[in-house]
Structure 1
Amino acid sequence: MNLNYPAEWKEQKTIWLAFPHNEMNWGGELREKIIAFYYELIGICSRFQPVNVLVQPDFILPAEQKKKFDNAPFKIRWIPIETDDIWIRDYGPFFVYSQHKTSKIINFQFNAWGAKFPPWNHDEQVPKEIALRKRLALKTFPYIFEGGAIEVNDDGLGLTTLPCLVGENRNPTSELKHVEMALKEAFGLRDLLVLPEGLIGDHTDGHIDNAVRFVSNERIAMAWEEDQNKPNFKPMLRNKVILETWLKRHYGEKAHVDTVQIPTQKVIDGEILPASYMNFIFLNGALVYPKYEEKFDNLAEAYFKSVFPDREIIGIDATTVIRQGGSLHCISKQES
């Protein structure tokens, strides 16, 4: 079966989100902040395209907020499907197309990033639930893999990182070639580059969406650290050399690898928070990037405006969601 996974800058039918409810991660002082963040994000997305939000069966949207959303330019649907947490990028369905342009859903095994953050029993059922509701064929691959670990362009090229493919509580190292073959089949890839690592401190084992993103077929943006004394300097330098060689092999002089300085890396309870401007999302006619209320935000905004002069560039404060290690791309899933 020849499958195609459209690049994220292509026209989208809708964007999928999962509303926060997990008291262990989003309780106490974070509860009001994360809910306000989601209302803001949903409002932004609904200016450009329909929005589907997964909610717990007992969810009730406050009347004041409902009134605001009822007047949104595009429809917001609240869909009762149980989840364990908000990271729908990783456990949610991949919407792909067959050679006959028929929409299908594919999914992989999900175990919360190598069994680090239980429970995940509801999250892993989400692709099946959505496939049933949308009456779409579902193809499941027998390997552990997350949505934030893959990045594709519209020309059959893909990017991922080695620690997200094999390792403890993931796929056995001996299965690496089989995992790579499955990814090529699932996303319709003619070439897959496996980088040695992602950002330091990334709980996901180094998802590609925090480190490197395609901004066009021949152009890549990557997280960068200018300070040679910081832990991310050497890994990102190594990634840059590999990416430049690989992309040039495919596109020659058209190839570009851009660097975007990462935010000042904050530490909570001894752990580095993997804040990155690469965790942006495409919408129809817009790009939304995470802000961290610090000095490098303006540089990121200027970069996105230079690359996408025809898109509205919108920044949103992601300092709450990064507290649990993720950002905008991690909490969303596009359906093209």
Structure 2
Amino acid sequence: MNETSLDTARPETTPRAQGFSMPAEFAPHDACWMLWPQRPDTWRYGAKPAQRAFAEVACAIAESETVFVGVNDDQYENARHQLPAHIRVVELSSNDAWMRDVGPTFLTHPDGRLAMVDWEFNAWGGLEGGLYFPWDKDRRIRTKIAEMLGIPRFAAPVVLEGGALHVDGQGTLITTEECLLNANRNPDRDRDQMERVLHDTLGVDHVIWLPRGCHLDETDGHVDNLCCFVAPGEVVLTWCDDESDPQYAISREALEVLETSHDAKGRRLNVHKLPQPGPLHIAEDEASGIDRLSHSHPRRPGDRMAASYVNFYIGNSVVVMPLLDPAHDEAAQGIVQGLFPDKRVIGVPAREILLGGGNIHCITQQQPRP
């Protein structure tokens, strides 16, 4: 395993210059990586309800590909007991369980090599709006996985999380200005400078900037809760028809950008609307089981959650999506199944994951097949 620190003054150090690029999530995978929840100020009742939900997600994805679950030492035996034998449990310490954001962004090369990007991480905003402190264990996860896999690691000099981007594998990336241009991430970089980082690091040619992410998304607007590629030239967008709901304007802003954009191949995008659940709010009993700490994000009774059906995981033969609202789950699952006619869509009850601030896509990270 070797590390390369990216230097804009030396273009030959970039993944793009060396022939690497980020493949689409719907491209073939070798594995999926997850982390085990246990943080008491994120997950209620000692994370036991969340652990059951994570285990169900892991089992669903394991129908499609190998699943690794990283666990802190003090939870290793418990996780090994709760997860079936074909789920691979590895000791991999973390501050919380959001593998999409703290794990690697994997890259592939035409000659069959695998590499990863190691972004800077500051818990979604550092001391200016971040969700917890410290995040030292999270920062080491990418290095450890690179060591485990024996692959090159490109250390990128920007704060960025995996949930902030989606690619089509053909040169196009979608992100949000709310997140990537947020002052609590990279205050010294403007939009053009961030685009150059994305071009050089991920091998993309064209960036589509959506204004904002979902309403009250505590990640400062991650795109994976709002919109994602389901195929080249095809995207799915969280939708809301209630004009009194703040999500209404957000979704229409995004739709206007998407419908007037083209991808790196010059194609217009076909936008599929996926109605949001709810709105959903934290119940009194759900908030009462969470530790209240001064350095963590508060989770109070009545708070609205950034619920979205778009936050699904695309596996080799399955799509694992959250079930969040009995009034809308069946219709949403039908829409997702229509988007992936060759895969089996598995719905997993995911409110316990949502209570922690994210969902299925946020807790997973695909390892592509080179």
TM tier relative to shorter chain: over 0.9
> 1:21/1:126 Cα in 2 relative to 1: closer, same or farther (>3 Å)?
same
Deviation of the 1:9 alpha carbon: 0.9
Task: Report whether the alignment pairs 1:324 with 2:356.
Answer: yes
**Structure 1 residue 98: Cα displacement:** 3.2
Which of 83, 89, 106 in structure 2 is aligned with 1:95?
A: 106
Deviation at 1:167, TM superposition (A): 2.3
Check conservation: 2:206, 2:263, Cα contact below 8 A. Answer: no
Residue type at the aligned position of 2:36: F
CA distance in 2, matches of 1:227, 1:247: 28
* Structure 2 residue aligned with 1:114: 125
The structure-2 alpha-carbon separation of the partners of 1:126 and 1:257, relative to structure 1 and needing over 3 Å to count, comes to same
1 CA distance for matches of 2:44 and 2:264?
Answer: 49
Seq. identity, %: 28
8 A contact 2:43–2:50 mirrored in 1: yes
Cα gap change, 1:305 to 1:99, in 2 (>3 Å): closer
Mean Cα deviation higher: 260-269 or 208-217: 260-269
User: 1:41 maps to which residue?
Assistant: 57
d(CA) in 1 for partners of 2:50 and 2:191?
37
Measure the CA separation in 2 of the matches of 1:167 and 1:44.
35
| SS across alignment from 2:261 | helix
Q: Given residue 266 of structure 1, which amino acid in structure 2 is its aligned partner? A: L
Cα RMSD after superposing both structures? 1.8
**Whole-angstrom distance in 1 between the partners of 2:60 and 2:267:** 38
Of 222, 225, 249, which residue of structure 2 is paired with 1:234? 249
**CA deviation profile, 1:226-273 (whole Å, cap 9, x unmatched):** 1111111111101101101103795546x3111111011223335320
Would the aligned equivalents of 2:215 and 2:306 in 1 still touch at CA under 8 Å?
A: yes
1:93-125 alpha-carbon deviations (Å, 9 max, x no partner): 111023533111112100011121222110011
Match of 2:280 among 250, 266, 282: 266
- List per-residue Cα deviations over 1:304-325 (Å, max 9, x = no partner): 1212111111100111111121
Q: Secondary structure at the match of 1:24?
A: coil
Mapping 1:130-145, distance limit 5 Å: 130-145=145-160
Native 8 Å contact 2:177 2:209 kept in 1: yes
Per-residue deviation at 1:27? 4.1
AA aligned to 1:233 is: Y
The 5-angstrom pairing of residues 182-221 of structure 1 reads: 182-221=197-236
Q: Which one of the candidate residues 260, 264, 270 is aligned to 1:256?
A: 270
User: How big is the shift at 1:217?
Assistant: 0.3
Q: Conserved in 2, the CA contact under 8 Å of 1:166 and 1:173?
A: no
In the TM superposition, residue 57 of structure 1 has moved relative to its aligned partner by 1.9
Residue identity in the other structure for 2:349: D
Amino acid aligned to 2:233: E
On the 8 A contact 2:170/2:265 being kept in 1, the answer is: no
1:312 to 319, 344, 351: 344
* Residue aligning to 1:20: 37
Q: Partner residue of 1:86?
A: 97
Distance in 2 between residues matched to 1:260 and 1:63, nearest whole Å: 36
Of stretches 179-188 and 192-201 in structure 1, the one that deviates more from structure 2 is: 179-188
Flag the structure with higher helix content. Answer: 1
Q: Which runs of 5+ in 2 are unaligned?
A: 1-16, 283-299
In the TM superposition, what is the alpha-carbon distance from 1:63 to its structure 2 partner?
7.4
Q: TM-score, normalised by structure 1?
A: 0.93
Point out where structure 1 has 5 or more consecutive residues left out of the alignment. Answer: none
Take 1:89 and 1:202, find their aligned partners in 2: how far apart are those partners?
15
Residue deviations 1:269-312, cap 9 Å, x none? 35320000110001111101101132111121111121211111
The normalised TM-score by structure 2 is 0.84
- Summarize the Cα distance change of 1:127–1:24 in structure 2 as closer, same or farther, 3 Å threshold: same
Report what 2:313 is aligned to.
Answer: 281
Where 1:60 maps in the other structure, the secondary structure is helix
Quote the Cα distance in structure 2 between the aligned partners of 1:62 and 1:201: 31
1:293 aligns with 2:293: no
1:11 is matched with which residue? 28
Superposition deviation, residue 76 in structure 1: 2.1
- Aligned-partner SS, 2:278: coil
Letter in 1 for 2:55: Y
Secondary structure in structure 2 of the residue aligned to 1:42: helix
Shift of 1:175: 3.6
> 2:94 is aligned with what amino acid?
T
Partner SS, residue 260 of structure 2: helix
Q: Conserved in 2, the CA contact under 8 Å of 1:110 and 1:145? A: yes
Distance 2:106 2:189 in 1: 29
